[in-house]
Amino acid sequence: MSDTIAAHYEHLAQDYDGNWEHSAEYVEWMNGMIADTLDVQPGDRVADIGGGTGLFDRGLLPRISPDTPLLCVDPIQGMLDQVPADARMRTVLAGAEEVAEGSVALPYDQLDALLVKETIHHVSDVARTVSELAGLLAPGGRMLIISLPPKLDYPLFQAALERFAERHPEPETIAAGMRAGGLDARIDYHDFEVSVDREHYIRLVQHNKWMSVLFTFSDEELAAGAAEMRAQHPEQTLRFTDRFAFVYGSRPAV
């Protein structure tokens, strides 16, 4: 993880869950989608790579046993410090690449389910890291990588949209990495309709820098971007579609 990205998440860690307070419906929806897709069973060995505060593990926890706690893996200690005290969760300080290459070993030799939500774009070689992570899955194991498509339908300023598109992997690149790791892979798209107060959203962009790409802009550029957003969106309530690629891989049982 680059110093810039690490600084971004250290910044977010100050109030990570607070960034989602305006969208409790989204958090509930996403948790339900993750739980339905991974179909975790009692006793499964589960890891959330880049799990942050564990906010998006809530839908999985009802089927997690304290005997095989869910591993919330993240390279930012400030995030892990906010993981709820729950016997069904265990924190691991590590990044995706460290886990994939084996420089940081997980408490489980193999995994039955692996989640990576909106962090895979931070690794230097997406296909290779995904392929190596796939190698952690036991027979019958499942991997879910959730990623935004490079082209966003967000009410962001144009420079941010363009820079995001330049740096973000295509979902097919993720799927190819899964296949290289011996998994059957598919890509499904799921939409969530967002309705948010314009000024709240602009604060998330300009001051909270809630997307990592925003951390690559100066304060002056963000201020100009906020002014551009207000000019382009005079309405007080912003409405747009949040589209997610759910890249799902599974290892044959035998």
CB distance 144 to 115 below 8 Å? yes
Torsion angle defined by CA atoms of residues 150, 154, 155 and 160, in that order, rounded to the nearest 10 degrees? -30
Q: What is the pLDDT of residue 231?
A: 97
Taking the C-alpha atoms of residue 69 and residue 142, their distance in angstroms, rounded to an integer, is 17
Q: Tens-of-pLDDT digits for all 254 residues of the chain? A: 555 555 545 555 455 445 454 578 999 999 999 999 999 999 999 999 999 999 999 999 999 999 999 999 999 999 999 999 999 999 999 999 999 999 999 999 999 999 999 999 999 999 999 999 999 999 999 999 999 999 999 999 999 999 999 999 999 999 999 999 999 999 999 999 999 999 999 999 999 898 989 999 999 999 999 999 999 999 999 999 999 999 999 999 97
Q: Among 201, 187, 184, 156, which residue's Cα sits nearest to residue 252? A: 184
Q: What is the tens place of the pLDDT at every residue in 176-211?
A: 999 999 999 999 999 999 999 999 999 999 998 989
Indicate the residue type of 98.
Answer: E
Smallest Cα–Cα separation from 91: which of 59, 50, 122?
Answer: 50
* pLDDT for residue 200: 92
Is 200 a member of any domain?
no
Neighbouring C-beta atoms of residue 73, cutoff 10 Å: 26
In a domain, 209, yes or no: no
Q: What is the pLDDT of residue 137?
A: 98
Domain containing residue 88: 3-194+243-250
Structural domain total, the chain: 1
**pLDDT for residue 210:** 86
Q: What is the dihedral of CA 40, 41, 43, 48, to 10 degrees?
A: 0
**Locate tokens 């499942």: which residue?**
142
Please report whether residue 238 resides in a domain.
no
* Inside any domain, residue 203: no
What pLDDT does 24 receive?
86
Confidence at residue 1, expressed as pLDDT on a 0 to 100 scale:
53
User: Is residue 53 a part of any domain in this protein?
Assistant: yes
- Identify the sign of the CA torsion 148, 152, 153, 158: positive
| Per-residue confidence (pLDDT) for residue 234, from 0 to 100 | 96
**Is residue 177 in a domain?**
yes
Residue 25 lies in a domain: yes
Long-range pairs of 61-68 with CB within 8 A, sequence gap ≥ 24: 61/86, 61/88, 61/89, 63/35, 64/40, 64/88, 64/89, 67/43, 68/43, 68/44, 68/108
Q: How far apart are CA 153 and CA 167, in angstroms?
A: 16
Instruction: Give alpha helix (H) positions in the chain.
Output: 3-13, 24-38, 77-80, 96-101, 126-134, 158-167, 171-180, 198-203, 219-232
End-to-end CA distance of the chain: 35
Please state the pTM of the whole predicted model.
0.91
CA distance 134 to 218: 37
We report the CATH number of the domain holding residue 117 as: 3.40.50.150
